[in-house]
Structure 1
Amino acid sequence: MNALIVATIVLGLLVDQRWEPHGQWVVNLFAWAVLALLLARSEAARRPALLFCLLFATAGEVFLSLVWGLYDYRQHNIPLFVPPGHVLLFFLGTQIAARLPARSEWWIAALSAPVIVFFAWNGRDTLGPFLFGLFLACLWLSPSRRLYATMFLLALAMELYGTWLGNWRWAPDVPWFGLTADNPPLAAGAFYCVLDLLVVMAGNKWGQTPPPELAKVKSD
């Protein structure tokens, strides 16, 4: 399943960008089909987390892209493959995070900080420290720290790939706050960490048993 998810993301973004005018609709249908397959193959304990992720990701995309204007997709819409894509990336993150060494999340944070501070200092990405603060808050507030560290890096890789292809672009001037942002911000993965934190909190709120992957990634 992991290989299928990686192929869906990597090839899907390429098809969306390069195959006009039908590429986006092909990717839309395929992404939802892969999500349906994931849900069908998942045990009952895993499904609520995946559905919570779909709900929060959709709401987040509407706010961040259409309301705030923090980034804009190529066709000035929210492609229908994006919400299921978030769920697929979340699932992939849980698989990878369980394999990270204990306390590696703090090394990831420590190694990221100097670059983010430097880009803010030279004016290239003054949004970065605020996003990095969100990342640190996720590490502080929840025991699933290796999941957030994994998503911080995994999301950055996807952001670099998607913006390089031209599937979306971050606004250089951040609306409302007078900050600057790189394309993408190096700490863009913080938004994905917040998404995953909301998924974990929602599961706890509604009394859902954490999926085995989340149980494994809780830090010691």
Structure 2
Amino acid sequence: MLGHFPKANIAYAHNMRDYFIAAFTFFCVAVSLVIDGSASIETQNILGVIAWVFLIALLFGENKEIRMQVIIAVAFATIGEHFASIYMEGYTYRFENVPLYVPPGHGMVYLTAVKLARSGFFLKHARKIATFVIIVGGLWSLWGVSGIPKQGDQVGAVLFLIFVICLFKGRSPMVYLGAFFICTWLEIIGTAAGTWKWASIEPVFGWSQGNPPSGVAAWYCLVDAVAIGSAPIILNNLKRIGDWYRAENNQKSIH
């Protein structure tokens, strides 16, 4: 069950870039979401431009595999945002749009999950962190279906079960752990600031849904899984296309 977790009792190296990117993203998320909670659409668009600049700057120090993963995460998450928010109305942003900072924001969130996953701290304390996440997330989910909060959270409980399954059965549990922290952070701040609001009743099954749902990190884990799984396939195909193109040019130059 823990086959994809890092080995315990090993001295893992610390890369300060990992911690910087994580801390920078946590800070940017808090500031931008609080600002957007009461900002004009013009200010929201400016936040979007700034977010793209930050994401591109952070990717300069990454290899092509991580860059491709981020590109896929941004594309997949953006499509998901328009479907889940605009079409399904599972949650709604203040201006009933998808803010311009959301796509690059997803890129920064994904990159942060990867950096936390590879950090020396997470690798060394993986099992303790997983235990903490399961306890906190489990209690949050139980509270949501206990009948105590006015806005129940059946969706959150189901999503958290899916998250736990992904954590122990998936091939990238450390990325999912990283996603739990950054995603929980941004969801709590975003909903508290009024930047977006989750529908009290989920539109497909009619289940109660928290604001935010307790297991919301499961949605982000889906983005992570798609990015990690698709990146090598796309890179390999791009390499084949590049090799074919160069071979064709070489043939033409010979003739």
User: Shared fold by TM > 0.5?
Assistant: yes
Deviation at 1:106, TM superposition (A): 4.4
Deviation at 1:159, TM superposition (A): 0.5
Q: 2:126 aligns with which of 98, 102, 113?
A: 102
Q: Aligned residue for 2:246?
A: none
Q: 1:14 aligns with which of 18, 34, 37?
A: 34
- Give, in whole Å, the separation in 2 of the partners of 1:115 and 1:39: 34
- Give, in whole Å, the separation in 1 of the partners of 2:216 and 2:89: 14
- Give, in whole Å, the separation in 1 of the partners of 2:141 and 2:215: 7
User: Residue type matched to 1:62 in 2?
Assistant: H
Q: Secondary structure at the match of 1:173?
A: coil
Deviation at 1:24, TM superposition (A): 0.4
Q: 1:119 aligns with which of 130, 137, 144?
A: 144
- Larger Rg belongs to: 2
1:173-214 deviations in Å (ceiling 9; x for gaps) = 111211011111111111111111111111244466xxxxxx
Contact 1:13 1:162 in 2 (8 A): yes
TM-score by length of 1: 0.86
Deviates more, 1:142-151 or 1:34-43: 34-43
- Give, in whole Å, the separation in 1 of the partners of 2:183 and 2:146: 23
The gaps in structure 1 that reach 5 residues or longer are 209-220
User: Residue type matched to 2:108 in 1?
Assistant: L
- Give, in whole Å, the separation in 2 of the partners of 1:196 and 1:35: 17
Q: Aligned residue for 2:190?
A: 162
Q: Secondary structure at the match of 1:41?
A: coil
The gaps in structure 2 that reach 5 residues or longer are 1-19, 237-255
2:230 equivalent to 1:202: yes
Contact 1:128 1:185 in 2 (8 A): yes
1:81-110 deviations in Å (ceiling 9; x for gaps) = 101101101111222222311323244224
Deviation at 1:5, TM superposition (A): 2.8
2:233 equivalent to 1:179: no
Q: Aligned residue for 1:134?
A: 162
- Give, in whole Å, the separation in 1 of the partners of 2:230 and 2:63: 18
Q: Secondary structure at the match of 1:180?
A: coil
User: Residue type matched to 1:117 in 2?
Assistant: L
Deviates more, 1:125-134 or 1:26-35: 125-134
Distance 1:203 1:141, change over 3 A: farther
TM-score by length of 2: 0.75
User: Residue type matched to 1:138 in 2?
Assistant: C
Q: Secondary structure at the match of 1:169?
A: strand
Matches for 1:183-194 after TM superposition, within 5 Å: 183-194=211-222
- Give, in whole Å, the separation in 2 of the partners of 1:8 and 1:115: 25
User: Residue type matched to 1:49 in 2?
Assistant: Q
Deviation at 1:139, TM superposition (A): 1.7
Deviation at 1:133, TM superposition (A): 2.4
- Give, in whole Å, the separation in 1 of the partners of 2:87 and 2:234: 29
- Give, in whole Å, the separation in 2 of the partners of 1:108 and 1:6: 18
Contact 1:50 1:87 in 2 (8 A): yes
1:34-87 deviations in Å (ceiling 9; x for gaps) = 122123332223211111111111111112111221100000000111011011
Distance 1:5 1:128, change over 3 A: closer
- Give, in whole Å, the separation in 1 of the partners of 2:166 and 2:160: 10
